[in-house]
Copies of this chain bind each other. A is one copy, B any other.
Amino acid sequence: MLVLGVDPGSITTGYGIVSKKNNLFTCITSGAIESTGNVPFYDRIFKIFEKMVELMEQYRPDEMAIEDVFFAKNVKSSLKLGHARGAALIAAVKCNVKIYEYTPLEIKQSVVGYGRATKEQVSSMVRMILKLPSIKRADTTDALAAAICHLNWTRYEKKI
């Protein structure tokens, strides 16, 4: 099972593809889609869509896990976040990748075992689970955490 985790944002969108075989998690690829300030907003959003499609076509993940956002700092930032998140969703529907949404609380609960875990706690658990020496960006860590959460949740679902 191959899961693409996404942490959307209009400036930086983190992504990570995680596989799971015999209870072993492996990071296949991970990174961040970044935009410089000079690029028009619509081109930044298109870049997220384009890169997501590229990743899905190259790695053929079975499913996508993405944060379910209920709030943002303010109306303006949530509007921008909506554009970025929409780009990831459109790419997934286009590539026939099934979408699963998790709240930040569910992701932290699943990865760290505690819904109110700090960013540092999430990051060190993600590194430990995937046996990675370091992860450059918080957005990438959060994307990998979403993927791990989904793989954990799927295991739980199958047990039931």
Contact = CB atoms under 8 A, between A and B. Distances in A.
A139 to B, nearest CB: 18
A46 B90 contact: yes
Contacts of A144: none
Interface of A: 40-43, 45-46, 49, 69-72, 74-76, 78-87, 89-90, 92-94, 99
A132 to B, nearest CB: 29
This protein's copies in its complex: 2
A78 B80 CA distance: 9
A135 to B, nearest CB: 27
Contacts of A70: 76
Contacts of A89: 41-42, 45-46, 83
